Chains A and B, each alone.
Chain A
Amino acid sequence: MIELQDILETNRMIKEQNLDVRTITMGISLRDCADPDTGNFCRNIYEKITRQAEKLVQVGEDIEAEYGVPIINKRISVTPVAIAAEACRTDSYVAVAEALDRAANAVGVNFIGGFSALVHKGFTKGDLVLIDSIPEALARTERVCSSVNLASTSTGINMDCVARMGEIIKRTAELTKDRDAIGCAKLVVFANAVEDNPFMAGAFHGVGEAEVCINVGVSGPGVVMRAIEQVRGADLGVVAETVKKTAFKITRVGQLVAQEASRRLNVPFGIVDLSLAPTPAIGDSVAAILEEMGLESAGAPGTTAALALLNDAVKKGGLMASSHVGGLSGAFIPVSEDAGMIAAVERGALSLEKLEAMTCVCSVGLDMIAVPGDTSAATISAIIADEAAIGMINNKTTAVRLIPVPGKTVGDSVVFGGLLGHAPIMGVNRFRPDDFIARGGRIPAPIRSLTN
């Protein structure tokens, strides 16, 4: 027997508080597509992706209609292209990116992730070809997302790659400068990347994954905020309990959608990712949750503590609601995709340095941050190195998605539209790290005891 109150509560969450399932992402292995001829390889991957994902969008839309819960995105992740395409006798994978774009377009998904390389210890030939192809690939495609994992807790940081990625990000910005450097919004640099992340731009289908799988990312910052509003003035233990209960409910919906999608597509269920993913919509903001907890603005002293509480409670509540939890699982703090974060930057409450501190306690990193177009490659590399160090030492995933917007500086803003939102250009520390970055090499893997 379902109670009237329960039905009203669920439908209020959906209608008024932006409860949705953020993404159903189908992971597809491309390891059996290898061919020395790039044309054949592209045909193989196009054929495999369009065959496997043929019904993905339709099934997503059916579930959305039947259960009455919005499923915002249907997406695809594939085996890192640097691995899948490595047998190709070529010095560019741009044609591969274009084949991925065509496949994504054919099945109607808005993003396909996996134009990726895993180089946390070193580069193979294919890794180098892939990384050098990124700027042109992102400029010439619409739906392809790229990621590079350049550090891990067990291997340390590949500083040669850190240096190279600063240049690659600058070049990507340059090639897409007519669209406010949107190429950079589709490029993530990771430490400790996970193999089953359903969220873009960092999704790829890891080498330890099954042939095909379904991963689901939930959302619901608006629902969490409304729940915290109900306990105004209560102590933080009560706040944490409230977030846990809400996260449980949100995640149960994600689990239901994941199981249904898996059953209807006849594809194994992988994981539910317990991330609080904001959107630019009013009332769908992680920053607003922090402010509801009692901070005048996101970025104020206390922000890191509030975020730590929130992130931990979301996981504790969500874990019991799903049979398999994975992916990034944490609160996202992308600036351009969160109206509250944008407002915090605009009122001067939130700096790049505070964002960096926040990434120590939550997923995922410096995300969707627009910086002045004259920020040097070495400075971008150094920001990446700092973020990778946080991930490496704390045994967690961290990421950098910076957008150095050509011709723009602090005081300007950029508009990407849709879920990518808009962003004020944030100031960057002007002191130079050039000689540090130029050293290259590897930062050794860290000690795992004596961890103070």
Chain B
Amino acid sequence: MFAFTYHRPDTLAEAVALLQAREEAKPLAGGQTLIATLKQRLAAPSDLVDLGALPALRAIAREDGRLVLGAMARHADVEASPLVRESLPALAALAGLIGDPAVRNRGTLGGAIANNDPSADYPAACLALDATIVTDRREIPAADFFTGLFETALEPDEIVVKVLFPLGGEGAYEKFRNPASRYAMAGVFIWRGEALSGESPVRVAVTGAGQGGVFRWSEAEAALAAHFSPTALAGLVLSADEMIEDIHGSGAYRAHLAGAMARRAVARLMTAGA
């Protein structure tokens, strides 16, 4: 690690002020990506602003028909929360599939979405559920939040405070994990609910597969809106050229996996609804 100055502010305003006052400062949430990067000396921030002393950021609640998860809610908190399990069981299940127990006990929702790793799980849930990301200064719809590989709409000094997940539908998440890293080789979150104006009643978000990170699979959404069944997805294949290609799998393999995960998620939703 390179030397840095550690801060642990008590208020959100103080945290934002610290980030604004120092150009090379970085916020620290659960640190499951950032600390590993620092240990490898692959980044050298001047200051770390630890968000761990802001208890308000860990709240999990239900307000106005929405599930509200604080940005510092750890994956293990979300997985175990009776409120999440009851209102949005697919989200609790997703949290339980992230990394290993050590990662889940430290890693946070806000950290995961702010990092926007193309293989992270939460971005799929945010996009499929049309979540709203609330920061210290504004609200950002998930569709505008994830802007590309490791890129978000966040400003360098902006902090995610909470994420609002609308209720009133049902979802399912299916993931094919890399056995070593447990990142998604392909993960698909399917949500089905009331059709909003101009919106599909089915939303399909794919993570782990696309080169630009999480994306919505509109052809699958249209097919499932017409006929909600795994067979509706027969013949639909994502373009292999736009998929991640690495030592773990080719683009064609990931395109195939995404289709398989989508069919599993549909089957799971149908079983749950039966």
Do the two shown chains form a genuine complex with each other? no
